[in-house]
Amino acid sequence: MTRRTNLAIAVETKKHPKHQIDYKVWYLELDESGQVLGVGVKTKEDLIKSLFESYQKSGQSNWRAFLKGADSSCAIEAYDFISKNSQENTHFGNLPTLGEFQQTIDALQMNLQLRSIAC
């Protein structure tokens, strides 16, 4: 079975300040050679569930995050969700917002647009 990696690329937080800890993470699903298989979105709870399923199957995380200002991605681990400041835009790093990531795509002159999905 081929190993797939999920690369978190953007975060979408709720507008209301009381619900900003309830966020969605946009990600790319990559195959072993780094080819993009799809684009997806998960809630924080779904991401944590997926992370633990990965630990059960392989003993390691299949989630990575590409943080603002970073040159490479870093692994997302279970401890990234524990005891973090709730004012951060995510519990595992400084991901771009959906709008910021769209600006990156625009700068690359790609014909792709990401928009919020109605809840």
How far is residue 34's CA from residue 47's CA, in Å, rounded to a whole number?
20
pLDDT per residue, tens digit, the chain (119 aa), is: 568 899 998 888 777 777 666 788 999 999 998 888 999 999 988 998 999 999 999 999 999 988 887 788 888 888 777 755 555 546 555 788 888 887 777 766 666 667 777 65
Which residues are bridge partners to 39 per DSSP? Answer: 28
In a domain, 10, yes or no: yes
In a domain, 113, yes or no: no
In a domain, 114, yes or no: no
In a domain, 119, yes or no: no
In a domain, 112, yes or no: no
3-state DSSP call for residue 18? helix
Q: Which domain holds residue 33?
A: 5-107
**pTM for this predicted structure:** 0.76
In a domain, 116, yes or no: no
User: Which residues 6+ apart lie within 8 Å of 51 measured at CB?
Assistant: 61, 62, 63, 76, 77, 78
In a domain, 117, yes or no: no
Structural domains in the chain (count): 1
In a domain, 76, yes or no: yes
Q: Give the Å distances, CA to CA, from 49 to 11, 28, 62, 77, 102.
A: 17, 17, 12, 12, 27
